């Protein structure tokens, strides 16, 4: 048993001043206000206590990459983000050939079963060549039903999300197939217009992959996918708040237009995260990181990020107009709900995993607990 006390605690029903929380093994046993049931093991006076972050879109970190699904690389990647408060992470695969993707999905399914990661995200190969970003155009495909079934079957229920361009041949059928398999269908890397995006939402799509990035822009006579995704309450929008992918004013616009309850912060991080500038690979493509910004060597497209969730959290509060409870929701409860793991994590509540982040007054990570263990 571990008792933590004195914190400003962000619980599902609001902010608790001078809160306490009791951990029994790997789970939260109880929480409350004021004097704890026994002397505290850790006093957090002057600090925030929030749920562990849930990142549903990330490709690597600490030199470890998801591509290839090497267990040691995945362990490195997970540990890197955990130090920054992310206690649940989905492994995002970039576009590749089907045989390689099937191998990686099968291997990542095993690591999901082991509890190392929270599932798999397929970002490609069913995306638009016109909005491919840092994806290998040679491996892009249309989502033929047999191919979609092949990769979903390889995941054995661990594929949590699939990003696709609904305007492709079989695109709307692919949305339906993904949803029928129990995964989230996300609209992204798309050149779709307004109408086809609305049809994708009606078919079951519920997420916008890194809104604004790698999709047709807004025009006052041709609103495109962004307006369709923003105006529909069924859609949760991913935002990459690193100050590179989006201007702070755009982030504020989204927060005000969609409402903070429809935002999920993601990192889209690649293996250079926490390593530094240099030359890297994202899938098969060469990437150069300069001043923390990752871009393809050939063409200069943004190639993921070197962002960690604690920095995204701080950006949301300091520059994007989010309150601390709203930032907590966008980094924990909302992604956990979308991934279907909210019965296990994503909030400070009895019975859930003891996934906790201690933040200083300036919202810098002071300590992290994952499943009852300080890391």
> Which of these, 51, 50, 52, 36, lies nearest to 4 by C-alpha position?
36
Q: Is 70 a catalytic residue?
A: no
- Say whether the peptide bond before residue 341 is cis (omega within 30 degrees of 0): no
Q: Consult the annotation and say whether 213 binds a ligand.
A: yes
Q: Consult the annotation and say whether 304 binds a ligand.
A: yes
Q: Consult the annotation and say whether 146 binds a ligand.
A: no
Give 272's contacts (C-beta < 8 A, 6+ positions apart): 60, 63, 278, 280, 287, 289, 294, 306
Q: Consult the annotation and say whether 156 binds a ligand.
A: no
Length of the chain: 375
User: In 3-state terms, what secondary structure has residue 121?
Assistant: strand
Q: Consult the annotation and say whether 160 binds a ligand.
A: no
Residue 320: Cβ-neighbour burial (10 angstroms; 0-12, 13-18, 19+): buried
- DSSP letter at 52 equals P
Rounded Cα distance between 267 and 307, Å, is 5
Residue 331 · residue 317 · CB < 8 Å: no
Annotated catalytic residue, options 268, 271, 310, 353: 268
Q: Consult the annotation and say whether 170 binds a ligand.
A: no
Q: Consult the annotation and say whether 19 binds a ligand.
A: no
Q: Consult the annotation and say whether 135 binds a ligand.
A: no
Q: Consult the annotation and say whether 291 binds a ligand.
A: no
**Binding site feature residues:** 123, 134, 189, 210, 213-214, 221, 245, 302-304
**Binding site feature residues for substrate:** 134, 213-214, 221, 245, 302-304
Could you give the residue numbers annotated as active site?
Answer: 268
């Amino acid at each position: 048993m571990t008792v933590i006390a004195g914190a400003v605690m962000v619980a599902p029903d609001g902010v608790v001043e001078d809160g306490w929380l009791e951990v029994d093994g790997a789970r939260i046993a109880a929480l409350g206000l004021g004097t704890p049931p026994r002397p505290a093991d850790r006093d957090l006076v002057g600090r925030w206590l929030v749920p562990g972050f849930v990142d549903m879109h990330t490709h690597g970190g600490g030199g470890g990459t998801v591509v290839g699904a090497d267990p040691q690389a995945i362990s490195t990647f997970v540990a890197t983000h955990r130090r920054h408060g992310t206690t649940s992470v989905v492994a995002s695969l970039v576009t590749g050939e089907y045989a390689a993707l099937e191998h990686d999905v099968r291997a990542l399914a095993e690591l999901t079963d082991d509890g190392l990661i929270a599932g798999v995200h397929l970002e490609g190969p069913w995306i638009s060549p016109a909005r491919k970003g840092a994806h290998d155009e040679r491996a892009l495909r249309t989502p033929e039903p047999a191919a979609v079934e092949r990769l979903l079957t390889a995941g054995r229920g661990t594929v949590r999300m699939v990003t696709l361009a609904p305007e492709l041949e079989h695109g709307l059928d692919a949305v339906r197939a993904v949803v029928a398999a129990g995964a989230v269908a996300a609209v992204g890397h798309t050149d779709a217009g307004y109408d086809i995006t609305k049809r994708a939402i009606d078919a079951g799509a519920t997420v916008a992959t890194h809104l604004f990035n790698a999709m047709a822009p807004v025009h006052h006579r041709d609103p495109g996918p962004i307006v369709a995704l923003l105006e529909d309450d069924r859609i949760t929008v991913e935002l990459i708040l690193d100050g590179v992918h989006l201007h702070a004013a755009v982030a504020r616009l989204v927060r005000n237009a969609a409402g903070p309850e429809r935002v999920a912060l993601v990192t889209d991080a690649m293996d250079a995260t926490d390593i530094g500038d240099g030359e890297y690979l994202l899938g098969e493509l060469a990437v150069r990181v300069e001043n923390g910004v990752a871009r393809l060597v050939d063409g200069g497209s943004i190639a993921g990020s070197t962002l960690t969730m604690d920095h995204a959290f701080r950006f949301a509060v300091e520059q994007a107009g989010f309150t601390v409870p709203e930032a907590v929701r966008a980094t924990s409860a909302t992604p956990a709900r979308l991934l279907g793991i909210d019965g296990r994590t994503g909030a400070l509540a009895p019975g859930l995993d003891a996934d906790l982040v201690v933040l200083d007054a300036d919202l810098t990570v002071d300590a992290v607990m994952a499943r009852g263990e300080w890391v």
